[in-house]
Structure 1
Amino acid sequence: MDVLGQLVAVPTVNPPGESYGEMVEVLHSIMEDAGYEVSAVEVPRDYLERYIPQHADHPRYVVIARVGSGRPVIHFNSHYDVVPPGEGWSRDPFRLSVEGDLVYGRGVVDMKGGMAAAILAAQAAAMAGAGDFGTVELSFTPDEETGGETGVKYMVEAGLVSPDYVVVPEASGSGNVWIGNKGNLWAEVEVRGRQAHGSTPWLGLNAFDGMARLAVALSEELNSMLSSRRSSYPFADPREAAPTVTLGGAVSGGAKVNVVPGRYSFTVDRRLIPEEGLEEAERELREALERASAPLRSAGYSVELRVTSRSPPSVIDPRGRLASALSDAVREVTGSPPRLTVCPGGLDTRYFQLAGVEALTYGPGDDSYAHAADERNSVSEMMTVARVYALLISSLLSCPGGPPRSTSS
């Protein structure tokens, strides 16, 4: 619990990206004490300005710890940022609280609990001499909570790591392995009318009225189109196997109570199942918007769609070497094989998968507690997962049939 307590105590709140430098120092000390070679790389400012210009003044760091050399390289990636604590806590969110088998604190589920489990397994692997049979590598990256572009994506694109196998310790639960995740297409729809004084609304064209009518029509168009689609991949909840669309997660516009609003906008959150592609999803969205907005355009409104984020769905073969080895390790530790399912949300794991690396998500905790007040995890769950990681490392570094060995990493 000492390691987890140190991690929770650093308030790495994102946005905007607080205390990242302090976290680098903590991780460097922990991993160096465990016998790992540790390096830290600052994400270039031009990269920050491209993806998070509003937070470019807050430095971002990738921390990499290695023991051993050659292949295979088994890699554990953890993000160290957390969401703001928010309200409703009954205890200090940045001081680890232990009550029986439960631990409380911001990030104990998402995902400093998984990070601590990976560190514990890595410490054991180093002590057992795992580095004589390949490389054990851990990375600690920022900004998963804001999309991961300035964290894992940068690390992979810059070639800072070149693993054969990757495990991301997000809270899948000790009996479940995520083999991939849905994709997302996010957009903003802007409706413009004509602003006027609230006492003479006939002189204006109310953008709020137009937006409300458009949102209902667009929702009907999209849900009708998506209602018959189902993924053939396994999901924990059958409802997750359908593509979804959510309108109005964020709404903006208006100026004052006595002003006829001339502009309003709302967001679109379209989640893609693995069988869908981004280009087709965007084409469908634009065509549905064109149909739904036709009455508004004829009444004098203008309607514009702007895509704000896009990430393809990503899955790997559940029959692959990593999935088999991880399933065997879970079965040996827990007595039962894990479920292999697709995560309905987005995961940093996708950046490895899209780069052609065998990567899975497996970590301790119930993700329903993530981002919540009094976020909590289970000590026994974290220890179970740490034992699985240790067994997985042993299996992948000693089992024949893995990637070819080389003399250098």
Structure 2
Amino acid sequence: MIAARQDDWIAALGGLIALDTSFPPGVGYATFADALEALFAPLGFTFRRVEVPEALWRTPEAQGARVNLIGAPRERTQPTCGIYVHTDCAPPGEGWTRPPLALTREGDVLYGRGTADMKGTIVATLATLTTARDAGVALRYDPLLLFCTDEEGGLYPGVRYLAEQGLVDCDALLCLNGGATARIWAGCFGSLDVAITVEGRAVHSGDPSPLGVNAVEEALPILHALMALKATVQARTSALPPPPHLEGRPLTARLTIAAIHGGAKGSALPGACRILVNRRVMPDESMDGALTEIEAAIAEGRARSRALSVATQLVGRLEPVIDPDAGGRHWPRWQRALSWGFGWPMGGFVRHGASSSSDMGFVQRAGVQEILLGGLSRPDNRTHGPDEFTTVQDITALARAMLAFLADGPIPEGGSA
């Protein structure tokens, strides 16, 4: 039934891709919540909208209300399985050969921003629950839908706020921000985004007066100091087990100069330069220590710069996720469900972590330690890049796995992909 009704959920995916929920800035959350309610209300869900207070998330990059949506069955009679999806996507960026905010289907390949991360998982959830209803499948869990904001680097992700308010109230929590791989999640790195604003003084670029201060040029000492720190940081290795595609090489800490903006035209010195630095923090490290290192490098560069002022601001933070499978009651069943849904042998699963980040670290800090991971990302499907894609087969397989996990009764051995 999931496969036979693919035209319906592919059409739904097209509607979601067309709604721009890029973060930054994140202005589309309320409209996206409208679309989600329209899709899931016919399945018997009632909805509650929860906005993160502006004082918690406000940064120069962020705009618009942070509307999180919780969908619950009208009657909750079973243990609850939370199904988490973040509603924001990375901005389209450059290099697309297909329209990023429209769904393009070529055979069984589905292109568009958010197909893999993670609007495709929304329609996998829709296909799962629609099939359960129409086929009369008895469920062992009542699903609790958690559609949350600002996972893609915001200062205060929506699921953090929900968890701290006691609203992630479930017996099992399924996070769909993972991959379509035979993986047992061992955890992931934390992430820091630090914005640096270098102030100069704009004058005509042909003016030899010493009054002009080129903010871009005066940012160079700071960039040099950050690059020196980058070499130190990326020599550090993590005890977190690495993914198979690294072929035994360890995961390492990361520092990236992710964006630089300054100047507008050739006839004027730039009066300001803004730098965005991303730091991926190993679970073996201290988040506060990593931030202190960045601030020290900025101060070192500032001492060699003629900039009128240099200001820093933390604009994004995600805590590391540590041992989400440890001692869990639900991981074995979810592993069997993935095996059945995707056709992966049980013996083929590998426990590993990642240097990517997740907002589930905040959920752990709020008291939910076991987190199940699934999703649609693969190493080759260009998540966050141009021509991001997923496939009909992977959405179908994820829906099969979710249905097997949620259904009341044992999960058969194996399955057909």
Q: Structure 1 residues 398 and 330 mapped into 2: Cα distance closer, same or farther (>3 Å)?
A: closer
* Counterpart in the other structure of 2:3: none
Q: How does 1:394-409 map to 2 (within 5 A)?
A: 394=407
* Counterpart in the other structure of 1:273: 282
* Counterpart in the other structure of 1:362: 374
Counterpart Cα distance in 2 of 1:323 and 1:60: 30
**Deviation of 1:230 (Å):** 0.8
Counterpart Cα distance in 2 of 1:366 and 1:327: 18
Please, which of 241, 262, 266 is the counterpart of residue 257 of structure 1?
266
* Counterpart in the other structure of 1:330: 338
Question: What are the superposed Cα offsets for residues 257-289 of structure 1, whole Å, 9 maximum, x if unpaired?
Answer: 344555434222111011112111122223333
Equivalent pair of 1:329/1:392 in contact (CA under 8 Å): yes
Counterpart Cα distance in 2 of 1:65 and 1:97: 32
Q: Structure 1 residues 290 and 159 mapped into 2: Cα distance closer, same or farther (>3 Å)?
A: same
**Deviation of 1:180 (Å):** 2.9
Amino acid at match of 1:390: L
Q: Structure 1 residues 3 and 40 mapped into 2: Cα distance closer, same or farther (>3 Å)?
A: farther
Equivalent pair of 1:314/1:354 in contact (CA under 8 Å): no
Question: What are the superposed Cα offsets for residues 290-348 of structure 1, whole Å, 9 maximum, x if unpaired?
Answer: 3444444xx78654433333332122343433333322333344224333332322323
Matched, 1:348 2:359: yes
Amino acid at match of 1:335: P
**Any idea what SS the aligned residue of 1:118 has?**
helix
Relative to total residues, which structure has the larger helix share, 1 or 2? Answer: 1
Unaligned runs of 5+ in 2: 1-5, 412-417
**Deviation of 1:172 (Å):** 1.0
Please, which of 39, 43, 54 is the counterpart of residue 51 of structure 2?
43
**Any idea what SS the aligned residue of 1:307 has?**
strand
Q: How does 1:285-324 map to 2 (within 5 A)?
A: 285-296=294-305, 302-319=309-326, 320-324=328-332
* Counterpart in the other structure of 1:138: 145
C-alpha RMSD over aligned residues: 3.5
Question: What are the superposed Cα offsets for residues 99-132 of structure 1, whole Å, 9 maximum, x if unpaired?
Answer: 43323344221212212222333344553221xx
* Counterpart in the other structure of 1:245: 255
Equivalent pair of 1:180/1:315 in contact (CA under 8 Å): yes
**Deviation of 1:84 (Å):** 5.1
Q: Structure 1 residues 182 and 240 mapped into 2: Cα distance closer, same or farther (>3 Å)?
A: farther
Please, which of 119, 137, 149 is the counterpart of residue 126 of structure 2?
119
Q: How does 1:361-380 map to 2 (within 5 A)?
A: 361-366=373-378, 368-380=381-393
Moved more, 341-350 or 199-208: 199-208
Q: Structure 1 residues 149 and 360 mapped into 2: Cα distance closer, same or farther (>3 Å)?
A: farther
Counterpart Cα distance in 2 of 1:251 and 1:278: 24
Query: Identity of aligned pairs, percent?
Result: 27
Amino acid at match of 1:340: R
Q: Structure 1 residues 168 and 282 mapped into 2: Cα distance closer, same or farther (>3 Å)?
A: same
Matched, 1:4 2:13: no
Counterpart Cα distance in 1 of 2:402 and 2:234: 39
TM-score in terms of structure 2 length: 0.78
* Counterpart in the other structure of 1:405: none
Please, which of 176, 193, 197 is the counterpart of residue 186 of structure 1?
193
Amino acid at match of 1:37: F
* Counterpart in the other structure of 1:403: none
TM-score in terms of structure 1 length: 0.80
Counterpart Cα distance in 1 of 2:398 and 2:46: 24
**Deviation of 1:215 (Å):** 1.2
Counterpart Cα distance in 2 of 1:190 and 1:97: 39
**Any idea what SS the aligned residue of 2:401 has?**
helix
**Any idea what SS the aligned residue of 1:232 has?**
coil
Moved more, 101-110 or 19-28: 19-28
Counterpart Cα distance in 2 of 1:284 and 1:366: 33
Matched, 1:392 2:388: no
**Deviation of 1:13 (Å):** 0.8
Equivalent pair of 2:185/2:324 in contact (CA under 8 Å): no
**Deviation of 1:363 (Å):** 0.9
Equivalent pair of 1:41/1:61 in contact (CA under 8 Å): yes
Matched, 1:164 2:175: no
